[in-house]
Chains A and B, each alone.
Chain A
């Protein structure tokens, strides 16, 4: 069964500052992905420990260590992916990436700074994110502190051409 979905004509936006909705959805996807992976890891660890020792093991029984592991995991999740390609799983899905404020790819130092300052935007009652809406460069507080910006990496024009090509193939007349 052919499934073709209509795509609204969006201009090519590669390299332009990403908007608030895209970033919010990407972040929500990342929270889901990181917690999903963490839960999977915790379950695998519990199963392995149980298999080796024969005793029942659950990470939730060790609240402080599990909290520390969770924080470290979140740091690794975001920093590793940002330093590697400038995008996390959620950002890749939504077609955005982190770059330095002048548009160059970021390295480990900036990725780590961004990850460490990200909670600040939350701690200020979420006001740190207001910059995405009000700032001329759509930079949140953690973006400014880390010297980064978020841009679209998705080629909307190519998507439009793909869609048109499919339409042509379906209806050559």
Chain B
């Protein structure tokens, strides 16, 4: 009960009047026109996002999230149906296969070099003197630079 007699009734009337006034004002305002006049970009520019983020306690929010409840609500079957598992498996398998293939080829090339080095040593020939590949596929090595001419000849 209010300490001043009759104040409760006055408060009630004031409340009713305020509600009615607000309602009338809201009806009178053209919200679309009002929103059109607002420069949203200017408002956004004035917002200090970093400060806003600093004020957010993420830990607290995460603590309040009931992950178990969220997981329970997920329809795993529907997710699995929509997931292209085949392509994921194929992609990962292709990656592993290409890695293994690269490894096998690299090892074989390494052994090729090892054998070629020994054969060249036995045959007493220099690897640099041997052609690298067929002329259409491998450019001939650049000729060795000749002696630098004396300064007066340049």
Q: Which A residues lie at the B interface, using CB under 8 A?
A: 3-8, 10, 13-22, 25, 93-95, 99-104, 133-134, 136-137, 149, 151-152, 154, 156, 159, 162-163
- Determine whether the beta carbon of B99 is less than 8 Å from that of A21: no
- Determine whether the beta carbon of B101 is less than 8 Å from that of A93: yes
CA distance A7 to B99 in the complex (A): 9
- Determine whether the beta carbon of A101 is less than 8 Å from that of B112: no
Question: For A154, what are the chain B residues with a Cβ–Cβ distance below 8 Å?
Answer: 105
- Determine whether the beta carbon of A17 is less than 8 Å from that of B132: yes
- Determine whether the beta carbon of A22 is less than 8 Å from that of B137: no
Q: Which B residues lie at the A interface, using CB under 8 A?
A: 96, 98-113, 115-116, 119, 123, 130-138
Q: Which of A99, A102, A136, A159 sits near B102, CB closer than 8 Å?
A: A159
- Determine whether the beta carbon of B132 is less than 8 Å from that of A25: no
Question: For A94, what are the chain B residues with a Cβ–Cβ distance below 8 Å?
Answer: 104-105, 108
- Determine whether the beta carbon of B96 is less than 8 Å from that of A3: yes
- Determine whether the beta carbon of A19 is less than 8 Å from that of B112: yes
User: How many residue pairs bridge A and B at CB < 8 Å?
Assistant: 102
CA distance A8 to B106 in the complex (A): 7
Known: A3-B96, A5-B103, A94-B104. 10 other contacts (CB 8 A): A13-B109, A17-B132, A19-B112, A19-B115, A94-B105, A99-B136, A103-B134, A103-B135, A133-B119, A159-B105
Question: For A14, what are the chain B residues with a Cβ–Cβ distance below 8 Å?
Answer: 137
Question: For A6, what are the chain B residues with a Cβ–Cβ distance below 8 Å?
Answer: 103
Q: Which of B99, B105, B119, B133 sits near A16, CB closer than 8 Å?
A: B133
Question: For A151, what are the chain B residues with a Cβ–Cβ distance below 8 Å?
Answer: 133-134, 137
CA distance A25 to B132 in the complex (A): 21
Could you write out 27 A-B pairs with CB less than 8 Å apart?
A5-B103, A6-B103, A10-B109, A15-B134, A15-B138, A16-B137, A17-B131, A17-B132, A19-B108, A19-B109, A19-B113, A19-B116, A22-B108, A94-B105, A94-B108, A102-B134, A102-B136, A103-B133, A103-B134, A103-B135, A103-B136, A136-B131, A137-B131, A151-B133, A159-B105, A162-B98, A163-B99
Q: Which of B99, B107, B112 sits near A20, CB closer than 8 Å?
A: B112
- When A22-B112, A134-B119 are in contact, do A17 and B133 touch as well, CB less than 8 Å? yes
Closest 7 pairs between A and B when the two form their complex, measured CB to CB: A19-B112, A103-B136, A103-B134, A15-B137, A103-B137, A21-B111, A159-B102
Question: For B105, what are the chain A residues with a Cβ–Cβ distance below 8 Å?
Answer: 22, 94-95, 154, 156, 159
- When A25-B108, A156-B105 are in contact, do A102 and B99 touch as well, CB less than 8 Å? no
CA distance A88 to B13 in the complex (A): 97
- Determine whether the beta carbon of A102 is less than 8 Å from that of B135: yes
Question: For B96, what are the chain A residues with a Cβ–Cβ distance below 8 Å?
Answer: 3
